[in-house]
Structure 1
């Protein structure tokens, strides 16, 4: 670790700026909830309108909780977060709207916080990680050796071990299984690796983005021909594919797009997530269940980034668009010069900025050749794997019996009971009414009384509560049970009942 590199990283890294920002906790939570939380309907990228709407909803939640932060415009925060390097803003080829997604700096900050917070709430395992290190080192040593005798010896030892285990099981020896702690430890290790893998895709995208920016910068240079630009772009793309990240990503895509690999991976995930030892890890289980669709979406996003690079090349190599682009760069430079000159003059003279500033754009009608053909794009692949659904007849029968046993609420008789109870007094509480007329349909009747109070305009005090005892019958044993239900304070009034009586006289049953 170099000291100057550490100092430079702490001073200039967008990751550190996000962690040290005054409102960093609120920004981090929003980015995590929007792009990473499996229970919030996450997506790799979002259009500007939808992301703006989510920011506004988040601001309303903070205001309701009396947090005086992020009170400005939602569009302003999206621009600031993009300029700070926490969000990447780009134009999607599928639509003309701007899209946003996390950068690798925001991914690193979220991963750091997630790891630090979860370290105190779960098992800190060492045995499973040590075995993972040993298995990885053994796999490296085995895969790097080209000695056929060594490979045959290793395969023979592995076959002997497998044969010995098969013979032991056939002879009646109990199958050795993992301890519950070992299962949980290995499961957490797999979840951590999955989160790291999903964040590493941003680094691959950044490499393609760097190529696209370099090609655009080179195209502005008048001394370069189109052939030189194309050669340098293709060489840069080949270089990315030949580097370690490119080789690993291409192998990852080839494995993940294999139907056999997907089917086996889904089957393994299904078996693991059904284990009782990890049943309490709901968030991690949901994260693991979304593994295949999430990885496919991440890979598709990187491939679309490659497609955007090809489209950039096509535009840059077009002679007419190249001339327009250079002229546009010159005009933008002139606009900046005029703006700086106007600012200096207004500061010196103290006069306000003129309000009649505008632009005149000269353009021509574009004629598209019918022989022009776009680049080939692969057909859409639907990631759908049919699942077998087994009908549980016993469960259906139980639910049907529960449905048949439901008692019908007699709304007119319940309203009559309210009228009779308030005949000699102006109001009565629900608990007092139920002492005179005990519930006959169980807990569901309390919902009925609450519905009548809401529909007929009686008083419901949600800030106050009262405890009501209800007697029900156990479906399995048939025994009587006493249940205590906490409800809002409901008060029925006589005046409202008179209105209801008038309505019933006008509208007979």
Structure 2
């Protein structure tokens, strides 16, 4: 930190400018009451202006009517202007009313001011223990030697076993009230600091989105290259240390078991007498639900930015297509202008009106020519004795005869089932004739098959035995085509 850097920081950083503002107590007190204390991510302009009017009214009662003379909306517009930048003014996707949200720098300034408050005591022991725990965790989880890790785990197991034995012997060690309050205050500060981290994550994604838009607006290369760069930057922020940490935090918090465990821990700890003497904030009972609300807002912001970026790229593609159409229209206008005054000598030759595309896979593969080899041999008279009776036992079903019977049956009614039709004309050629009826119904589209109903068909075979077949109901319909089996 040198002099030039601090001078620039004092001049341009929103948090430092806020602390130097004339109305800094008004701004900080109001935004803390409206945003940070109730953990509200954003507020519509009308509601926020009404809250500021009430806040100013109470201040004027104590300070005098001459203080803070401007209307509430003017203060909000001033705080959200580019010169101040302490509030972010934007329009949500589903609303035409502007909304306001805090920027991360304002929340950092408020946290710094909260650290200036006089504390009853400073928790030095708990912080030192936290440092040792973090260093021990890093050392143990980065150790590559299996024997070293096993030795450390064995030592920890021996310490746990010794503690269990002490408890069984009736010797239980309790944390004194000072340590209880010290660790509870540290846990409270860490829990509230997490809420500020979500706003910083949102701001980082918005800054990335702005950089990508600026990059697209000044890009002069091809679309493929800019898309590759945009997607690469999206992956870079997602795979960064901050992105991976936020994703791990979100996965950990979304576990139902973790939420239940946090609820039970908070209920138990807040019921302790040393903690109750501190008069803790009642919202601490639901601090994990505030984390969920803030995390969901961050997730929605990232999704909304991705959707806006996609539409922005679509608009860029539409503009590029429009430019191409303008060029083509200009060529058409020039062609119409020279149509009546054609040049005597051709200034351009085109081999073909359209390209002749020949795909490699459309070309036939080489196949060697087949050279038949014909052997001439005298024909000899056959001597095999084969019975020709099976040739005369073939069954032929006349489909035209069956069609005629069907047409005759449908002259007096619109539909008829196969069962009713066979009662009029029983099967004469057995199973072959039944299959032919089914072929007329499904193959030629003369009927429908209802699989929800069944029908039984009977016939007598060549040996005189009674046969039966159970099949779905077949219904022939007059003039029907396109049956579905």
Q: Do both share a fold (TM > 0.5)?
A: yes
Shift of 1:196: 1.8
Matching of residues 23-422 of structure 1 within 5 Å: 23-37=23-37, 41-67=38-64, 68-83=66-81, 84-117=84-117, 120-173=118-171, 175-221=172-218, 223-282=220-279, 284-319=280-315, 323=319
Q: Which moved more, 1:192-201 or 1:133-142?
A: 192-201
**CA deviation digits over 1:447-503, x for unaligned, max 9?**
xxxxxxxxxxxxxxxxxxxxxxxxxxxxxxxxxxxxxxxxxxxxxxxxxxxxxxxxx
The aligned length equals: 319
Distance (Å, rounded) in 1 between the aligned partners of 2:79 and 2:317: 32
Could you tell me which runs of 5 or more consecutive residues in structure 1 were left unpaired when the two chains were aligned: 328-509
Q: Measure, in 2, the Cα distance between the counterparts of 1:2 and 1:271.
A: 48
The answer for the alignment partner of 2:475 in structure 1 is none
SS across alignment from 1:292: helix
Pair 255,180 (structure 1): closer, same or farther in 2 beyond 3 Å: same
8 Å Cα contact 1:82-1:88 kept in structure 2: yes
Q: Which moved more, 1:92-101 or 1:204-213?
A: 92-101
The corresponding residue for 2:386 is none
Contact 2:52 2:72 survives alignment (8 Å): yes
- Structure 1 length normalisation: TM-score? 0.59
Q: 1:236-292 deviations in whole A, cap 9, x for unaligned?
A: 11111122111111111111111111111111111111111011333x342421211
- Does the residue aligned with 2:277 lie in a helix, a strand or coil? coil
State the alpha-carbon separation in 2 of the partners of residues 53 and 224 from structure 1: 50
In the other structure, the counterpart of 2:333 is: none
Shift of 1:85: 2.1
Alpha-carbon separation, structure 2, partners of 1:88 and 1:223: 32
SS in 1 for 2:93: coil
What SS class does the counterpart of residue 100 from structure 1 fall into? strand
Distance (Å, rounded) in 2 between the aligned partners of 1:144 and 1:70 = 58
State the 1:322 CA deviation: 5.5
Distance 1:208 1:158 in 2: 42
2:166 & 2:225 partners in 1: Cα distance? Answer: 68
CA deviations 1:81-113 (Å, max 9, x no partner) are 122121122222343332211111100111011
The whole-number CA distance in structure 2 between the counterparts of 1:133 and 1:214 is 37
How far is 1:229 from its partner? Answer: 3.5
The higher radius of gyration belongs to 2
Query: 1-side partners of 2:291 and 2:69: how far apart?
Result: 35
Q: Distance in 1 between matches of 2:164 and 2:25?
A: 54
What is the CA distance between 1:222 and its match in structure 2? 6.0
Q: TM-score, normalised by structure 2?
A: 0.62
**Which SS does the other structure have where 1:178 is aligned?**
coil
C-alpha distance in structure 2 between counterparts of 1:162 and 1:123, whole Å: 32
Alignment match, 1:479: none
Q: Secondary structure at the match of 2:101?
A: strand
Residue 31 of structure 1: how far off its partner (Å): 0.8
**Separation in structure 2 between the aligned mates of residue 260 and residue 184 of structure 1, nearest angstrom:** 26
1:8 aligns with 2:5: no
Give the drift of 1:177: 0.9
Contact 1:36 1:42 survives alignment (8 Å):
yes
Determine if contact 2:44/2:98 at 8 Å carries over to the other structure: yes
CA distance in 1, matches of 2:143, 2:311: 47
CA deviation string 1:61-80 (max 9, x = no partner): 11222344332122221122
Distance 1:287 1:137 in 2: 32
Provide the secondary structure at the position in 2 that maps to 1:176: coil
The alignment partner of 1:124 has SS state of: coil
Q: CA deviation at 1:321?
A: 8.1
**In structure 2, distance between residues paired with 1:50 and 1:157:** 59
1:223 shift after superposition: 2.0
CA distance in structure 2 between the partners assigned to 1:218 and 1:24 by the alignment: 36
